[in-house]
Structure 1
Amino acid sequence: MKVATSVEMRQIDALVMEDYGIPGAVLMESAGIEAASAVETLLARSGGKRVCVFSGKGNNGGDGFVVARRLANHGYKVQVCLTADISSLSGEALIYFTVLQKMGLDILEIAGERDWDKAGVAVSFADCLVDALLGTGLHGIPSERMVAAIDLMNSSGKPIIAVDIPSGVEADTGCVTRTAVKAAKTVTFGLPKPGLYLHPGAAYAGEVTVVDIGIPADLLQSRAIKQNTVTAEDVRSLLPLRAPDAHKGSCGRVGVIAGSQGMTGAAVLASTGALRSGAGLVTLGIAASLNPVLEVKLTEVMTCPWPENADGALGAKSVPYMDELAMQSDVTLIGPGLGRREETQTAIRQFIKEARRPLVIDADALTALSVDINILQQTEALAVLTPHPGEMAMLTGLTVEEISQDRLYVARQAAIDWASIVVLKGAGTVVAFPDGEVYLNSTGNPGMATGGTGDVLAGIIASFIAQGLSSHDAAVAGVYVHGLAGDIAADRGMIGMTAGDLAEAIPAAIHSLTKKA
């Protein structure tokens, strides 16, 4: 499904009105009816009948006015708390506010301290609250009046339905500058917004429902919209299906270059991730002194002991062996646990520069690239980079905080600049392509915040490439399956979950998708 920025959504609304002749009031009516329906569904469980609607002065507030009218017509006791001056209302919002006045609904214009006291009383008696304060119109810091309204709603302990996006969450970035509504459910219109999937905004949205408000489908499916969310149906259509006569040679060959003294676990997890996600053959290239250890740790993975330097790490002597492994493999994964010794880092850069077949670049190989990121422009191979925010900061020169403020933009720009696929890991992983297309992932959980899960992800992506997926499709499907495996593993408890638990759950994650095909 496409994901629209606030500007794109405004452009769509304008086209609906100008090119299709559908009045803005019709869109507002449809939006309000859908949001009201969500309120009724929520209250049907408890039998509650009192609703408090917090509205601002813009179109989001107008949606709230429609919600209020609809609920009142259906027998609910509705209190409208207006956080703007009545004189500031205009357009469709004013039209629907006037309807409420003529209906005699209870409207509280919050202007002074006593009004806030009245609003507090209304909230205390309500069974459900509706957030129609700001919507996608927030940029920067919300006003003091809005902050007070948000805090009042959040402190009430009552379930909140957010209209389009929780107030206080920036629609395009998911940033929360000061405070934001903590919704039980968000009803968003036409297309979802990036801030519903990017943290911290995603944590405020609750259950997200995308509803149809009558926008023509061709506008919602426009190729000009470059953001997408990944669904189970999308991934199901991408995953490789095995032929009845499949054998290990036909299911893909993955070469892994990983591991160093004290970091053999990274090599194991990356290789296991590749095997567990379906690769027919996985071969691990390592420093010769590590071979006895890894032959004990790994049963199904073949190991290749290579010449090492005096420190027991891969270096210049191992580059020809790296090249040979790459030519014998459908894809090469390089980086997990390789170490940051200067000779190792130089060898990594030389290998990447000379590579001709697909690459997955992770961990210490990303550190090597940070010295000369332009190598990516020189290699024939299409690379998938899998940085976490700290590695992304190292590669871009930005701070982790700057990256977290606009993950979508940073990942997209990096993919364009580096002519590579960028998988910016974290809560709500972003997959960005060199043509500007981006995908926002929705699977995964906090239990995955443990060492080694990124190594497993790199292995999954490499495995999917080896099995015939394009690097683009493998990155999207790999991220989704990785998060889904984490969700399955978390059924036994998130605290104490390990990367090994996640790797074990990969077959179940894939089966849960393909069994419905």
Structure 2
Amino acid sequence: MRLVTAAEMREIDRRAIEEYGIPGVVLMENAGRWVAQQVASRWGGASRKKVVVLCGRGNNGGDGLVAARHLWQQGAQVKVFLASEPDKLQGEAGVNATIWTRLGQEFYPLLTPSGLQAFKLALFQAGVVIDALYGTGFRGQLPPELRTVVEVLNSSGCPVVAVDIPSGVEADTGRVEETAVKAQLTVTFGLPKLGLVLEPGASYTGELLVADISLPRPLLAAKGPGRLYLLPSLVASWLPRRSPVAHKGDFGHVLVVAGSRGMIGAASLTAAAALRSGAGLVTLAVPRSCQEVVATKLTEAMTLGLPETKEGQLSAGAWEALQPWLSRFTVCALGPGLGRHPETVGLVRRIVAELQLPLVLDADGINAFAGEAHLLARRSAPLILTPHPGEMARLLGTEAGGLAFRRVEVAEKAAKDWGAVVVLKGARTVVAAPGGDTGINSTGNPGMATGGTGDVLTGVIAALWAQGMEPFRAAAAGVFLHGLAGDLAAENKGGVGTVAGDLVENLPRAWQHTIASEEASKAHGLSRLG
């Protein structure tokens, strides 16, 4: 599904109104009605339900007023708290404020001492709260008086439905300063906004639903490169299917160049993940002193011993030793567990510059270019990089903390500058292609924060690429399947104590689950995203 910024969504709304003649008040009516329907269906119907609605003065507040009216019409006891004077609601929001008062309903002030006390009392009695304070235009910090309201709300334990986006979350980045509304459910409109699926915003969003409010389909359809939320049905549509008469040669031969003395596990995980992700053949090339160990460990993979330094890391001579073998391979994965010996660094740079095979570069392969990222742009053959934030920071000569709220921007710029697909790992991994496509992952969990999971991802991506997927899709699908394997592992073993090998074992199941979901479709104009 396509992801949009706040500005992109505003432009879609504008065009719907101006070019298609759909009045803004109709869009607002549809939005608020969807919110009301979700409240009624999830919390035991509207009749006699006590509902608190928090409204700002913008269109988001107008959506909240529509929801309040529909719930009241169905018999709910609704109290609307305004973070504004009623006469400051303008446009479509003003129309709905007038309707509310003409129905004989009142507004309760929110930003006065007595209003806050009334809110606390109403909250104590409420069955559900609707957050319509701020919409996608929010930036920065909530004002102090609203921070108090939000803190009271979050500590109440009362279920919250956010209208379009939880108040306090930035729509373009997911950034939250100090606090934001913690929703159990967010009903967003038309298309999901980036901040709803990027952390930390995703953690405030709860379950995410996308409602069809009758925005014209041509406006919602992506034209050319764009940002995509990586969901099962999308990924399933990309995955290769196997012919009944297929043989191992049809699914590629992955070369993994990895490992060093004391770091054999990283190399083994990469090779095992490639095998579990459908590669027809896998050869693991390691320092000669490590070959016997990995050959024993990996029954299904072939091994190749290469020249090494006295410290047990690959030496400069490994490049020449590889030459007679290169014609056999489809894709190369380079980097896990290599170490940072100067000869090894030089070898990595030479391989990246001269190897004409498609290349997945990870871990110490990336570290070999710390502070020298411009060298990556000189590579002529296809390249996928898989840095975690620390490795990306080293490439760019900056601090990892400075990337936290610019992950999409950083990945997209790096992909363009280096002419490579960039996989910026972390919660909600970002996959960016030089041509402009970007994917945000929807799978994965904190239990995957353990050594070796990045090595597994490298093997998954290399295997998908070897099976004929184009680079961006191979990387994006690999990230999705890798995260789903982690989710399946957590289901079986719990979030704490999951290890990288558990992901490897769950990769085939992740593939099966994804294919099985391909027929999942929207129901009643609503898409469930989280």
Give the aligned partner of residue 435 of structure 1.
435
Equivalences, count: 517
Q: How does 1:152-171 map to 2 (within 5 A)?
A: 152-171=152-171
Give the aligned partner of residue 128 of structure 1.
128
Give the aligned partner of residue 150 of structure 1.
150
Matched residue type, 1:504: E
Q: How does 1:413-424 map to 2 (within 5 A)?
A: 413-424=413-424
Matched residue type, 1:376: L
Cα offset, 1:145, TM superposition = 2.6
Provide the C-alpha distance between the structure 1 equivalents of 2:277 and 2:269, rounded to a whole number of angstroms: 12
Give the aligned partner of residue 509 of structure 1.
510
Cα offset, 1:48, TM superposition = 6.6
Q: How does 1:84-95 map to 2 (within 5 A)?
A: 84-95=84-95
Cα offset, 1:110, TM superposition = 2.1
Provide the C-alpha distance between the structure 2 equivalents of 1:225 and 1:5, rounded to a whole number of angstroms: 14
Cα pair distance change 1:47/1:253, threshold 3 Å: farther
**2:3 pairs with 1:3:** yes
SS of 2:305's equivalent in the other structure is strand
Q: How does 1:216-255 map to 2 (within 5 A)?
A: 216-223=216-223, 226-255=226-255
**2:285 pairs with 1:296:** no
Give the aligned partner of residue 183 of structure 1.
183
Between stretches 410-419 and 322-331, larger displacement belongs to 322-331
Provide the C-alpha distance between the structure 1 equivalents of 2:363 and 2:326, rounded to a whole number of angstroms: 18
Whether contact under 8 Å (1:255, 1:325) holds in the other structure is: no
TM-superposition CA deviations, 1:128-185 (whole Å, max 9, x none): 0000011211111121232122112112110000000111111111110120111000
Matched residue type, 2:488: I
Cα offset, 1:370, TM superposition = 2.1
Between stretches 141-150 and 163-172, larger displacement belongs to 141-150
RMSD (CA atoms): 1.5
Cα pair distance change 1:137/1:511, threshold 3 Å: same
Cα pair distance change 1:210/1:325, threshold 3 Å: farther
Cα offset, 1:323, TM superposition = 4.4
Provide the C-alpha distance between the structure 2 equivalents of 1:128 and 1:394, rounded to a whole number of angstroms: 47
Give the aligned partner of residue 524 of structure 2.
none
Give the aligned partner of residue 209 of structure 1.
209
Whether contact under 8 Å (1:83, 1:145) holds in the other structure is: no
Give the aligned partner of residue 261 of structure 1.
261
Cα offset, 1:416, TM superposition = 0.8
Provide the C-alpha distance between the structure 1 equivalents of 2:454 and 2:386, rounded to a whole number of angstroms: 8
Matched residue type, 2:511: I
Between stretches 72-81 and 100-109, larger displacement belongs to 100-109
SS of 1:155's equivalent in the other structure is helix
Provide the C-alpha distance between the structure 2 equivalents of 1:118 and 1:250, rounded to a whole number of angstroms: 69
Whether contact under 8 Å (2:370, 2:397) holds in the other structure is: no
Whether contact under 8 Å (2:111, 2:146) holds in the other structure is: no
Matched residue type, 2:316: A
Provide the C-alpha distance between the structure 2 equivalents of 1:325 and 1:337, rounded to a whole number of angstroms: 22
Give the aligned partner of residue 497 of structure 1.
498
Whether contact under 8 Å (2:161, 2:186) holds in the other structure is: yes
Matched residue type, 1:249: G
Question: Identity over aligned residues, as a percent?
Answer: 47
Give the aligned partner of residue 395 of structure 1.
395
Provide the C-alpha distance between the structure 1 equivalents of 2:48 and 2:182, rounded to a whole number of angstroms: 20
Provide the C-alpha distance between the structure 2 equivalents of 1:290 and 1:113, rounded to a whole number of angstroms: 71
Whether contact under 8 Å (2:2, 2:228) holds in the other structure is: yes
Give the aligned partner of residue 466 of structure 2.
466
Provide the C-alpha distance between the structure 1 equivalents of 2:147 and 2:224, rounded to a whole number of angstroms: 35
Give the aligned partner of residue 306 of structure 1.
306
Whether contact under 8 Å (1:490, 1:497) holds in the other structure is: yes
Matched residue type, 2:345: Q
Provide the C-alpha distance between the structure 1 equivalents of 2:47 and 2:500, rounded to a whole number of angstroms: 44
Cα offset, 1:85, TM superposition = 2.3
Matched residue type, 1:103: L
SS of 2:303's equivalent in the other structure is strand
- Give the TM-score normalised by structure 2: 0.95
Give the aligned partner of residue 285 of structure 2.
285
SS of 1:327's equivalent in the other structure is helix
Cα offset, 1:47, TM superposition = 7.8
Whether contact under 8 Å (2:274, 2:282) holds in the other structure is: yes
Q: How does 1:185-200 map to 2 (within 5 A)?
A: 185-200=185-200
Cα pair distance change 1:515/1:104, threshold 3 Å: closer
Whether contact under 8 Å (1:266, 1:337) holds in the other structure is: yes
Whether contact under 8 Å (1:174, 1:195) holds in the other structure is: yes
Which residues of structure 2 form unaligned runs of 5+? 519-530
Provide the C-alpha distance between the structure 1 equivalents of 2:342 and 2:48, rounded to a whole number of angstroms: 67
Cα offset, 1:354, TM superposition = 0.4
Provide the C-alpha distance between the structure 2 equivalents of 1:113 and 1:322, rounded to a whole number of angstroms: 75
Provide the C-alpha distance between the structure 2 equivalents of 1:16 and 1:200, rounded to a whole number of angstroms: 31
TM-superposition CA deviations, 1:450-495 (whole Å, max 9, x none): 1111110110000001111111110111111111111111112111
Cα pair distance change 1:326/1:432, threshold 3 Å: farther
**2:29 pairs with 1:35:** no
Matched residue type, 2:302: M
Give the aligned partner of residue 523 of structure 2.
none
Whether contact under 8 Å (1:384, 1:422) holds in the other structure is: yes
TM-superposition CA deviations, 1:307-357 (whole Å, max 9, x none): 112222112101123444443211000000000111101110011000212
Between stretches 475-484 and 143-152, larger displacement belongs to 143-152
Provide the C-alpha distance between the structure 1 equivalents of 2:458 and 2:259, rounded to a whole number of angstroms: 14
Cα pair distance change 1:168/1:322, threshold 3 Å: farther
Whether contact under 8 Å (1:2, 1:225) holds in the other structure is: no
Which residues of structure 1 form unaligned runs of 5+? none
Whether contact under 8 Å (2:431, 2:475) holds in the other structure is: yes
TM-superposition CA deviations, 1:393-447 (whole Å, max 9, x none): 1112232222111211111111111110011111111110102221111011111
Provide the C-alpha distance between the structure 1 equivalents of 2:310 and 2:267, rounded to a whole number of angstroms: 21
Cα offset, 1:371, TM superposition = 4.0
Whether contact under 8 Å (2:46, 2:74) holds in the other structure is: no
Provide the C-alpha distance between the structure 2 equivalents of 1:67 and 1:269, rounded to a whole number of angstroms: 51
Matched residue type, 2:422: V
Matched residue type, 2:91: G
**2:428 pairs with 1:425:** no
SS of 1:435's equivalent in the other structure is coil
